Structure 1
Amino acid sequence: MSTSNRFLKKLALNVAGVFTVIVAILFKSEQMYLMAGVMLLIPHVIDVLGRYLVRGLTCEREVPFECAEGDRVTVVIQVGNTGRLPKFFLRAIDKLPTALTMAGSDSPMILQLNSGERRTVSYKLDLTLRGVYEIGPTVVTSTDPFGFSTFQQTVGTTQELMVLPTPIPTSRLFLDGAAAGQRGDEGGTQRGGGMDFHGVREYRQGDDLRRVHWRTTARTGELAVTEYTQGSSLQVLLALDLARASYDDTGSGAESALEYGVKLAATVADNLARHGHRAILLTPDTLEMAQAPSNSAREMPALLEALARAQAVHELSLADMLERFRPLAPAGMTLVTITPVADGALVQAIRHYGAQGVRAFGFHLDGPSFHPAAHLNSERSGGVVRIPGVVWRTVGKGDDLAASIEGLAYGYQ
C-alpha cells in the first residue's frame, strides 16, 4: 500500500473522530465520547505497538558460492523471532546495489512469526554485470492489520556476492596460425606444420605452397592450405590495462571500454585453455601476487575472480606494468595487450619484449566510441592496425567481440 493511501486512512479516521466528538458534545452522549476517543487513539496505539513488534528479529542469509554474468540466482533469508510476542505481516528484503536486479516486483510475506520461530523466504537476482557486490543488511518491514502504518527494522550483516565474467563462445583458436611455430611448455597441441591433420583454412602470406589444398581451392576459387597439429603449446601473457587515466570518458556499466576489456580477457583465456594453451593474466593487482593466475584447470577460477574484481583505479600504466614484469617473461612467449591507450611508451615497452623473442598482439579499445555522447554510426578506426612491433585490432562499442578475437591474427605479416 502506498504512503499516500496510508495517510488518507489516518486522516479519515482522525476526521471521523473529531466529527464524533462534535456529535457527542451536541447530544451529550457518553458513548459517543468513548467512540471518539477510540478513533483518535487507534493510530497512536498502532504506531507504538508496530515499533515494538519489529524488535527482536534476526536474519541469516545464504548466497550462491559461485555465479556468473547472465545467471538468475536464488538468495535465501531466514528470519527469526527472539521476542516474546508474535510478529505479523513481515517482509524481508536485502539492500542491493544498483547493478543487481531483483526478479519480480515484491518479496514474499510471512503472515505470522511466533516467539522462537524461524521462517525462510527467498528472492531471485538477475546478474547482468560481473563484479563483487555487497548484499545487505536486511530490512524487515511490518504493516499493521488496518494498513495505517509500515514499520521497518534493519537487521543482519552484509555478504559478498561475486559475479564472474562469462567468456563468449568462439569457434576457432585465438591467434590461429599467426603464432604457429611458437613453443612453450611441452604437452599441449598447437596448429602448425606437424604431422597430425587438423583441417583446411584460407591461405595466408608465408604459408608453404606445398600445403595448398587443391580440391578446396578449386571449389572456392581462393587459395586454401592444409593445417596440422604439432606437440607444443603457446604461452600467452594476457596484459589488461587497469590504469585510471586510461579509461577517462570511456563509458560506464556494461557498455563501457572497461567491461569490453574484461570480457575480451576472459574470452581469450577461455579460448586458449580449450585448445591446450596457457595464458597468464597480468594486471596491477596480479602483478603483486607471488604467481599471476593462469587459465589452467586449477587456476582458472582465480583468473576469473581477478577479472571479476578488476577496476580501473590504479596509477600504474600498462607500459610501466609490462616493464616491471619483463624480467620474469619467458623467451618465446606471446604478448596480448588490452588497452584504450596505444602511446609511445607502450610501443617502446613492447619492443623490449620483442628483443626477448616475444611476438606482440593486442586489442585497442576505441575509447571515444564508448563515451555517453558518442554515436555508434560515427566514423572511427576499425579492423587490424599494424604498428611497428605489435598488431592491434581496434574494438569499439557494439563490435562483435568473438569476431574481433578470431580475426586478430589475420593482421599479422
Structure 2
Amino acid sequence: MRRRYHLHIPGVVYCGLILLVGLVAIRGQNNVLFLVFGIMFAALVISGLVSGAMMMGLRVRRLDPAPTAAGEPLLIRYEVRNINRLVPIFNVHIEERPVSETNGWQHFMDLPRAWIMHVGAKEVVHGEAIVQAKKRGIVAMNHVRVWTTFPFGIIKKSVTFTLPTHVLIEPKREPLKRELLRSIEVPQPVGMRISPRAGGGDDYFGLREYRSNDSIRQIAWRRSAGLDQLVSIERSQPSSPRLRVVLDLEKPTASLRISEKDGVTARELEENAITLAASLLAMADQAGFEVGLSVRGFDLPPIALRRGQRHFRRIMAALGRIDLDQPRQKHTSHRGIREAERTSIVVIHPDRSDDLSERSDVVHLTGRQLEQLRLPVEEKRSASKDVSTGRQEVAA
C-alpha cells in the first residue's frame, strides 16, 4: 500500500492565487488581503489534513471478475472498507493502474473506473466498474489506485493497493446463419442416436414391472399374459446430436498465405478462426448438441463431448487461453477420434488448407468465411423481435 499527495491542475491554480494574494498583501500592507491570504492558506492545510485522515483508514479489495466474452461488458467489483472509528470517507474514485506485462489490461479494454460517494465509519461499500472487453485472452491486473479531492478539490490524495489477479476473456461469439448447423449434420447413426439409458423417448429399451402411474398404452399385453402379471414397455432416453469442432492452428502465423490485397493480416485470420469456432460451438450448444473441441498446433488435450453450461464454459475458456505467439506443434489425424465418438466433425482453418485428406463427410471452414456465415443485421433484428414477442406472450 502506497500513499501519495498529488498537486493537480486545480491545486496548482489555487496555490498560484495564494502566492499572488500574499505578494499583493505584503506589497500593499493591506489587512484585508492578509486575512484572505490566511483563510486561503488554512483551506489548503485543512484540505490536506482531512483527505489524509480519511484515506488512512481506507482498505480496498478487488473481487474476482467473472469471465466474459470479447465484445461484451466486463463487470469489475471493488469492496471498499472504512476502518476509521469516527471519520467517514467521501468522493472516492477507483482506477486500475497500467500493467507492464504484454497481457496488461490496457491492451484489452479501456480504463476501468468506479466511484463511491460515501463510506461511513466502520462500513463496507461496493463499487462497480463496467468496461467493454475488446479481445480475448488472459488479462493481467495488478495495482489499484484510490483517490479523492475531498473536501475542497484542491489536493488530490491517493492510496495505491497491490492486488494481482487475472481475468479470462473468452472469444467473441457471433450469431451465425441458422442453416449452417443443418448443412454440417450427417445422416444416422453419427448424429441423433439411440441412448443406452432408459428415458422418455420413442425407441424400445426393455420391459419392467407395471407401475400405478403408467399409461395403458405402455403395457405389453402379450408379455403380461404369458407372465400372469402386468409389465410395461421401457423406452430409451433420447440422445442429442454430437458435434466436434477441430481448430487447426498448426501453421505458424508467418506461414499463412496473405497478400496486401486481402485487406486482413495473418493474425486477424487466426482470430477469425477462433471466433468462428466459438460461435459454431455456442450455436450448437443452444440447439441441444453435445459439443467437443480439439485444437491442433498446441498441447491442449481434446475436450470430450458433453452438454451443460459448465462444459460450455470449459470449452470457451480453452479457446480464450490460446496464445498464438507460442510455437506450434504437429498433430496426427483425427480419424480415430471420429470413429470412436461417432460424431460430426467440423475442421476450421485460419486460411485455405492443403491437407483435405479426411473423409468426405468432414466439413472444412476457414476464418475468411466468418463474414459470409455471420447472421445479417436484418435477421438479427427479426430474431430479437421474435424473442421479445414470445416473452410478452408468456407474461400475458
Q: Output the TM-score relative to the length of structure 2.
A: 0.62
Which consecutive segments of 4 or more residues in structure 1 shift more than 6 A?
none
Q: State how 1:78-89 maps to structure 2 within 5 Å.
A: 78-83=79-84, 85-89=87-91
Q: Which residue of 2 aligns with 1:374?
A: none
For residues 336 and 400 of structure 1, the distance between their equivalents in structure 2, rounded to whole angstroms, comes to: 14
Letter in structure 2 aligned against 1:149 = I
Point out the more displaced range, 6-15 or 124-133. 124-133
How far residue 7 of structure 1 moved from its aligned partner, in angstroms, is 2.0
Q: Which whole-Å CA distance do the structure 2 matches of 1:235 and 1:89 have between them?
A: 53
Q: For residues 9 and 269 of structure 1, what CA distance do their matches in structure 2 show?
A: 59
Q: CA deviation at 1:15?
A: 1.0
Q: CA deviation at 1:274?
A: 4.8
SS in 2 for 1:123: strand
CA distance in 2, matches of 1:76, 1:274: 29
Q: What's 1:58 paired with?
A: 59
Equivalent of 1:321, from 328, 331, 335? 331
Separation in structure 1 between the aligned mates of residue 284 and residue 126 of structure 2, nearest angstrom: 43
Aligned position for 1:6: 11
Residues 50 and 151, structure 1, Cα contact 8 Å, conserved in 2: yes
Structure 2 distance, partners of 1:50, 1:174, is 61
Match of 2:364 in 1: 362
* Structure 2 equivalent of residue 401 of structure 1: 374
Q: How big is the shift at 1:33? A: 5.8
Contact 1:282 1:292 in 2 (8 A): yes
Q: Is the 8 A contact 2:168 2:320 kept in 1?
A: yes
Deviations along 1:4-43, one digit per CA (max 9) or x if unpaired, are 343222211221122212233xx7x6x8667646655754
Whether 2:199 is the aligned partner of 1:187: answer no
Contact 2:298 2:328 in 1 (8 A): no
CA contact (8 A) 1:100 1:127 kept: yes
Separation (CA, whole Å) in 2 of partners of 1:283 and 1:181: 26
Counterpart of 1:292, as a letter, is I
Given that 2:246 and 2:294 are in contact with CA atoms closer than 8 Å, whether structure 1 keeps it comes out as: yes
Conserved 8 A contact 1:237-1:281: yes
Alpha-carbon distance in 2 for matches of 1:247, 1:97: 29
The residue number in structure 2 matching 1:336 is: 346
Determine the C-alpha separation between the residues in 2 that align with 1:272 and 1:18.
76
Q: Distance in 2 between matches of 1:275 and 1:109?
A: 43
Cα deviation for residue 236 of structure 1 reads: 3.3
Work out whether residues 236 and 280 of structure 1, in 8 Å CA contact, stay in contact via their aligned partners in 2.
yes
Alignment partner of 1:59: what SS?
A: strand
Say whether residues 1:157 and 2:168 are aligned partners. Answer: no
Contact 1:173 1:272 in 2 (8 A): no
Return the match for 1:241 from 227, 245, 249: 249
Say if 2:62 and 2:78, in contact at 8 Å, map to a contact too.
Answer: yes
- In structure 2, stretches of 5+ residues that fail to align are 1-6, 98-104, 196-202, 204-237, 259-263, 377-396
Aligned residue type for 1:362: H
Shift of 1:140: 0.9
Q: Partner amino acid for 2:60?
A: C
Q: What is the DSSP-based 3-state SS (H/G/I as helix, E as strand, rest coil) of the residue aligned with 1:299?
A: helix
Letter aligned with residue 155 of structure 2: S
Distance 2:240 2:63 in 1: 45
Count matched residues.
Answer: 313
- Give yes or no for contact 1:182–1:234 (8 Å, CA) kept in 2: no
Shift in Å at residue 303 of structure 1? Answer: 0.9
- Percent identity, aligned pairs only, is 14
Q: Distance in 2 between matches of 1:52 and 1:293?
A: 57
Q: Which residue of 2 aligns with 1:99?
A: 108
